[in-house]
Structures are given as C-alpha cells and as structure tokens.
Amino acid sequence: MSNDNQPELVTVYVDDREVQVPPGTNMIEAAAKIGVEVPHYCYHPKLSVVGNCRMCMVEMGMPEKDRATGQPVLDDEGNQKIMWMPKPAIACATKAMPGIRIKTDSELTRSCQEGVMEFLLVNHPLDCPICDQAGECRLQEFATDYGRGYSRFVEEKNVKPKRTVLGPRVMLDDERCILCSRCIRFCQEVADDDVLGFVDRGSYTTLTCYPGKQLENNYSLNTVDICPVGALTSMDFRFRMRAWFLKETHSICTESSVGANTVVGSREGTIYRITPRRNDQVNDTWMADSGRERYKQVEAKNRLLHPRVDGAETADPEAAVAAASRLLQGGKGIAFVGSGRCSVEEQYLFRKLADQVGAKSRALVSRVSEGDGLLISADRNPNVRGALVTGLIDELPGRELSALATGIDSGELDTVVVYNEDLTAAGMTAEQLDKITVIYLGTHANPTSDRSQVALPTLTVFEKNGSFINQQYRLQKFFQAVPGPAGAPGDLRTLAGLLAGNGLQGHPGIDDVWEEMSEAIPAFSGLRFMKIPSGGLPLEVPSRLRDLPYAEGKTLHYEPAGGEPAAV
C-alpha cells in the first residue's frame, strides 16, 4: 500500500481524490480536508457521533480483497477492484481505513440527500421570513443545495410548542426543531448540565427541559450556536437583526485569561451579538454566556465619552492630554496602576510612560475569582501575562494595592496614573485618593475617575485593534468592530500623546509599537501585529515567567503549571 512510508496516515478517497488522514478520522472531516462538504446536521466535531439526521449519507466502497488469501482483487486493467456497498453509509460514523472510498455526488448519495431534505421539511413550519436563523440556517442552505425545490406534502403539519422559554437566555420553537440532539449532547458532554431531553415519540418527538429545571448554565447560548436550525434562539438577539447584515469581526473574550476566540457581529456601529470562533487549542467552538454580554459595556450609561479636566468635560482631547502631561511633570512621587484588561500594546506604552516620568511604582489590579473548569479561569483578567511580558509588572499582582496605600499615607506618593481600574475597589479609600493627584484613563466612569484631576476616555476591546496573551502564553489579536465615542481618540494615541508631552515622540500607531516591541521584548522577536495568526501564537517566554504561581486551575485545554509548565 502507498501509506507504508507514512504509518501515521491512511489514504482514503473522496470522489476519487486522494486524501491523507490519520486512521479513525471520520469521512466528513476527511472530505472537508480537500474542501468537499458532506452536508450534515447532527454531526458536530466537538460532540459525540449519533448519526441520527442521516443527511451525511454517502455511497461507500472498500477495496475488494480475496476472502481466502486476503490479497487485493484487481480488475481487468490491473486496478484495485472496489466493492461498493448497496446501502449508503453515514459519513460521520464511517472511519478512515486504508483505501476506503466515498462518493459525495453519486446518484445514490444525491437521492439520499434529497430524501432526507424532503423528510426534514415536511413538518417544518417554513417560517423563514420571521425566523432568526434565516441566513445562517443549515436547513435553508441544504434545502437549496440538495432539496427538490417543491413540496409533495399535502397533509396537515404536526403542531408542537412554540416560544418555550428554556432558561433565562434561550427560547425554543419545537416546530422548527429537526431533533438532531446537538443541544442535548452539548449539555451532557460539555456543559455537564444534563437538563435537555426528548419527550414523546416518532415525528411528534419534542425537545424539552426536564421538569423543574432550566437551561440556565453559563454555557446555555452555545446550544443556540450549534442548533443547525432556528429552534433555539438567543433571547438577547432574536428579532433584533438579520444575520446577513452583520459585519463579523474577530475578537477575544475578555471574561478571563482563557481568551476564548470570538466573532463580534455588528452593523452600522452597533454590536448585536458575540459568538464563539473555533480554536481547537483554546476554546474549541464554545464560549461562556457571560462573555457574550460584554458588548453591552460599549453603550453603558457610565461610559466616559469625553475627556474631563478638573471635573469639567472638554471637547478637546489634546488639551486634556496636555493637562495630564503637566500634572505628570509636576508629580514628585508618581505611581502607575495598569490593568490586566489592557492590550499588550497599551501595557507596553504604559510601562514606557512610567519609565519616562520616573514612576516610583508600577502595579496591576488583580482580579482572581473561582474558575469554572471550562472556559472561565480563576484569573478574570484577560491579559496579566501581557503585563508580565511587557515588563509592566515583574510579579503576579497582589490581591490589594497595599504598597500604593502605604505610599500615599506616608506622603511618598502624590500622583497616581490609573488605567481603566477603580482603585476604591482595589482596597483604597476615597480619602486616600483625595489626598493625591489622580490621572485616569478608562472606558467608564467609576469612583476613581470621579476623583481624578484628568480623566481620559479610552476604548473598549470592541473599538480598537490589539492583542492579549492568554493563560497558555498564547498571543491572540482582536480587531476593531465598531468605532469608539467621538471624544475618545484611542488608547494608543492617548498614550503616545502623554509620552510626547513628556518628551518622547513617536508611536503613532500599532505597527510602530510592534516594531519597537519586537526589538525590545525577546518573546516578540521578529513579530508584527499583522503576523499574529488568527488562531494565536504560542510564545516562548523565560521560565521565570512560566513558573510563577498563577491563579488558574484546570480549564479546557489548559493544565496549571506545577511540575508541568503551562501547556501551549
């Protein structure tokens, strides 16, 4: 056989095209490897295989072997004879074996696909005009690709429950459900919250929640994502925007140091939803419900929309930056408090500014809580490791900013620059803040910004480009989905302004920051922002950083350090 040289791969054939895959790969994945889509509903790469939708049926053949000798049987021209099975096989449960073949477009395959499509549609309400799934509905898509285009069904359709509230975030329309059981398997296998199931029988089978229970776990909206039809809809998103109008922007979830990869859906400057983006090294195809709500911070009531100097709003950001620069120049003991929610680029410039003005201390606000073992880690800051790599901090942040408090109380510190954090929530008192000059950079107003002499508005993760380093020391980038408030010029520009105000020109954009960082930081050697792959880039960092006692416990695709270095 041809695969003798590569024992780790087997050769299979999809429509007579050779594909090399690891043995045991299912034929949907094998076909996908050469860009051939085998239509399917119930199969999901991250869930168990049940084979119930029958949409992936294909004609399947095996190389014929002589039963007695085991030798390959050849045809007249000396080619391997293929024994084509009279019955179709489901590609999802057909494992790659040497020489196995499938036909994804043969007469038998197409007849199976047409049959299944017709069956799926006979009791479907066909309410696409009012269905949220329209535009991203597998039923719609495959009906177009594989359906017969007209209905032969003249009977009455089944009637099932509509608008069933499954939980605080998920709504169910049973008439649209094609009973693929993806959501049930997700709850059992991923969320470990087995609350969904089928009741009744045959075509009257109905998806429902167990009596007395709700689909309310923090991963419930993943069922909406994986629902191939419009049966499960997000109560936050339904009826708000047509899927095809959404601009999709790659982003990173800021819920925790997991750094789930996401897609932000926006239209005309408004974000409508956040959905997970597949990354098999980080979050598979999932994300937490809480992370999906994060877009609401963009239009939150306490958003800082304009710079403030001495409590008064100003329309001139540059004047505000100049005012802040003057305060920095007048400061005798300056402390910098950075944020684990800031991007790598911002942390780098912030540190640089601290060095430039001769800051006496640099700190980071810790945000440690309990992890859920899945996609929310114990460290709720998405980018503590960025602060370590950029040198903004040298050790893990403590629970409280006690050194800062001591410095203020002793009079050693008279100025503090706070980046998007609330010091009163980090152990400082309002009286302590009143004793000093506070320069605040941040997205939202808080007790600290209220007490600041200068407050400079910054942008949320959805309004700028940047990168985070997650718990695996994976550098991941996010992009601007929507424009920021008119009064906020952008974090990097604000920081560059402060640097310039203190005698250091340069850094107008993210590429310039990266050019400098790739020189200054060994882990970023040779890197540019645009060079970071969409799936992220595992960084090589010194063991001094790797071996720190991080807060994270085990999560999906992450084993905490301790014996083993943090997995990449």
* Residues near other proteins, by CB under 8 A: 49-55, 57, 86-88, 90, 93, 95, 111-112, 115-116, 118-120, 122-123, 152-153, 155-156, 158, 178-179, 197-198, 200-205
Output the smallest distance, CB 28 to other proteins, in A: 14
Smallest distance, Å, CB 85 to other proteins?
Answer: 10
Segment holding 386, helix H or strand E: helix 384-389
- Judge whether 451 and 537 are in contact, CB under 8 Å: no
> Please, which residue, 92 or 527, has the CB nearer to other proteins?
92
d(CA 155, CA 203): 14
- Measured CA to CA in angstroms, residue 72 lies from 41, 76, 90, 290, 376 at distances of 36, 13, 25, 57, 53
Min CB(230)–other proteins separation in Å: 17
Type of residue found at 126:
L
Range list of β-strands (E), 77-133: 82-84, 89-90, 101-103
Asked whether 455 and 482 are in contact (CB, 8 A), the reply is no
Beta carbon of residue 424, minimum distance to other proteins (angstroms, whole number)? 54
Whichever of 124 and 451 has its CB closer to other proteins, that residue is: 124
Which among 102, 101, 89 is positioned nearest to 51, based on CA atoms? 89
Which amino acid is located at 563 in the chain? G
> Least CB distance from residue 155 to other proteins, whole Å?
4
Q: What is the rounded distance in angstroms from the CA atom of residue 550 to the CA atom of residue 546?
A: 9
DSSP summary character for residue 163: S
Q: Which is nearer to other proteins, 94 or 234 (CB)?
A: 94
Q: Given the complex with other proteins, which of 50 and 567 has the nearer CB atom?
A: 50
- Within 10 Å of residue 249's Cβ, how many Cβ atoms? 18
Q: How far is the CB of 50 from other proteins (least distance, A)?
A: 7
In the complex with other proteins, the residue whose CB is nearer, 202 or 212, is 202
Instruction: Give me the least distance between CB of 49 and other proteins, in Å please.
Output: 7
Nearest approach, Cβ of 114 to other proteins (angstroms)? 8
First-to-last C-alpha distance (Å) of the chain: 36
> Measured from the CB atom, is 163 or 201 closer to other proteins?
201
For residue 229, the minimal CB distance to other proteins (Å) is: 13
Give me the DSSP letters along 225-266: HH-SSSSEEETTTTTT--GGG-EEEEEE--SSTT--EEEEEE
Name the residue nearer to other proteins (CB basis): 120 or 459: 120
User: Cα Rg for the chain, rounded, in angstroms?
Assistant: 28
In the complex, minimum distance from the CB of residue 87 to other proteins, in angstroms, rounded to a whole number: 4
CB 54 within 8 A of CB 90: yes
Phi, psi of 328 (to 5 degrees): -65, -40
Query: Considering only CA atoms, which of 286, 245, 279, 283 is closest in space to residue 265?
Result: 245
Nearer to other proteins, 158 or 270 (CB): 158
Contacts 24+ apart (CB under 8 A), 560-566: 566/471, 566/472, 566/473
Nearer to other proteins, 152 or 163 (CB): 152
Least distance between other proteins and beta carbon 545 (Å): 44
Least distance to other proteins from the beta carbon of 153, Å? 7
Beta strands at 361-364 and 334-338: parallel, antiparallel or unpaired: parallel
Nearer to other proteins, 156 or 564 (CB): 156
Nearer to other proteins, 65 or 157 (CB): 157
- How many angstroms separate the CA atoms of 253 and 4, rounded? 44
Min dist CB 547 to other proteins, Å, is 41
CB nearer to other proteins: give 226 or 323. Answer: 226
DSSP string, 441-510: EESB--HHHHT-SEEEE---GGGS-EEEE-TT-EEEEE---S---TT---HHHHHHHHHHHTT-----SH
Please identify, using beta-carbon distances, which residue of 54 and 507 lies nearer to other proteins: 54
364: which strand partners?
Answer: 338
H helix runs in 34-126, sequence order: 107-122
Nearer to other proteins (CB atom), residue 180 or residue 260:
180
Q: How far is the CB of 119 from other proteins (least distance, A)?
A: 4
CA distances 330 to 256, 325, 512, Å, are 37, 9, 29
Strands 57-63 and 170-172: unpaired
Looking at residue 465, its amino acid is N
Residue 314: count other Cβ atoms within 10 Å of its Cβ: 16
Q: Identify whether the C-beta of residue 101 lies closer than 8 Å to the C-beta of residue 60.
A: yes
